[in-house]
Structure 1
Amino acid sequence: MKLSAELKAFEERLGHRFEQPALLVRAVTHSSMASPTRDDNQRLEFLGDRVLGLVMAEALLERDRSAEEGLLAPRFNALVRKEACADVAREIALGDVLKLGRSEMLSGGRRKQALLGDAMEAVIAAVYRDAGFDVAKAVVLRLWGKRIDSVKEDARDAKTALQEWAQARGQTPPAYVETARSGPDHAPQFTIEARLQNGEVETASAGSKRQAEQAAAKALLARLKQG
């Protein structure tokens, strides 16, 4: 099988040239394009999630040999969660080469976080099946490099920290209120207020409620520390 010019360019961005090009084609094929003669990437996604997890677990142990499991777990979750996979997918323009059905394409599938994250995991599995674990590990470490280096800060759960701040001062847990939603259904923007019992409020916007809540909590924590 010969790859299209677009997929050859993607190989360059990924940093791996496939000996079995069909694996890459399958990895970028969404279920909306599946047929009796065309496999989608769901099984590869399942495998890729496990490969990514093993690479990240090893990397965290190697970078911090004294960290206990209680510290390693949130760092691990920050590195393997769907948002992180989708961010990496955007950096290498994976969305540009996805094979999508018409309805998925019209609904903005190339930009959907869940779809990009799943496809990124499928691509990792394709590299693993094409060239083995060591090669897949090298690709993942290169693509995730800066995230692994900064994960101690990124893994901090701002909502948990804000709740602990409030409880330590005898306040009720923070409230998170959606104050606005904008954008099309396939790419919404949520605006969330984080509110404390003492009247302190901060607002943030993001592409998901979870991200907006975390961003609002982080902004409020930063202001409380300054005060």
Structure 2
Amino acid sequence: MTPSADIRAFMGRLGHRFRRPELLVRALTHGSIGSATRPDNQRLEFLGDRVLGLVMAEALFHADPDATEGQLAPRYNALVKGETCAAMAREIGLGEVLKLGRSEMLSGGRRKEALLADAMEAVIAAVYLDGGFDAARDTILRLWQTRLDSLDDDPRDAKTALQEWAQAHGMPPPVYDQTGRSGPDHAPVFHITARLADGREAQAQGAGTKRRVEQEAAQALLSRLEKSE
């Protein structure tokens, strides 16, 4: 098949020229528009998740020969988590070429975090099937290199760090309460309070996913704790 102009432009941003562009088209086809004659990207997402994981594990393994498993695990999680995949998808304009059903399109599907993350993994699988593991590794490392280079030695997410702080001080895990929600259904704004057993708390609000705003609330509470110590 001859890819459309927008698909060719996306190939350029991705950095892989497909010999079988139909693989990329499938990777960009969401279940809301898929059919028996037009397969969607769910199976590719499953494969791409594993390819990304292997490439990141190998890169981290070689980057720091002295790191323990306990040090490597949070770095790995920071690189392969859904938020990172969605951020990468936004950086290369993946949402612009997603093939969505009408209802998903009208509900803001091109901006949805989970949908973008899943499609990014599917695209990785398409590169792997089209060009083999070396091509997939080269593509992933080129896209993720900045994140690899700037990765903290201890990139635990804020919720994990706050839970460990609470445990170290003899407290149960913090709780996260949704105290409000505003905005349209396709772009909700969540209001979250992170609270410790001793009553100390912090709030955050933002668009995207509830999980992301919980992370922001946890970070706000961590910052408050650091100032009080």
Query: TM over 0.5: same fold?
Result: yes
> CA RMSD of the aligned region, Å?
1.8
* 1:31 aligned counterpart, secondary structure: coil
4+ residue segments displaced more than 6 Å: none
Number of aligned positions between the proteins: 227
Identify if the C-alpha distance between structure 1 residues 163 and 185 changes in structure 2 by more than 3 Å, giving closer, same or farther.
same
Q: Deviations over 1:78-125 (max 9, x none)?
A: 211111111100111101101111111111111111111111111111
Gaps of 5+ in 2: none
CA distance in 1, matches of 2:10, 2:41: 17
Identify if the C-alpha distance between structure 1 residues 143 and 154 changes in structure 2 by more than 3 Å, giving closer, same or farther.
farther
Say whether residues 1:211 and 2:212 are aligned partners: yes
Q: Deviations over 1:191-213 (max 9, x none)?
A: 21122344432212242222212
Identify if the C-alpha distance between structure 1 residues 180 and 154 changes in structure 2 by more than 3 Å, giving closer, same or farther.
farther
Structure 2 counterparts to residues 1-227 of structure 1, below 5 A: 1-152=1-152, 155-206=155-206, 207-227=208-228
Q: Deviations over 1:118-159 (max 9, x none)?
A: 111111111111111111111111111122223336731322
Gaps of 5+ in 1: none
CA distance in 1, matches of 2:154, 2:190: 21
CA distance in 2, matches of 1:154, 1:25: 38
CA distance in 2, matches of 1:36, 1:199: 54
Q: Deviations over 1:48-84 (max 9, x none)?
A: 1111011000011111111111221222122111111
CA distance in 1, matches of 2:213, 2:60: 27
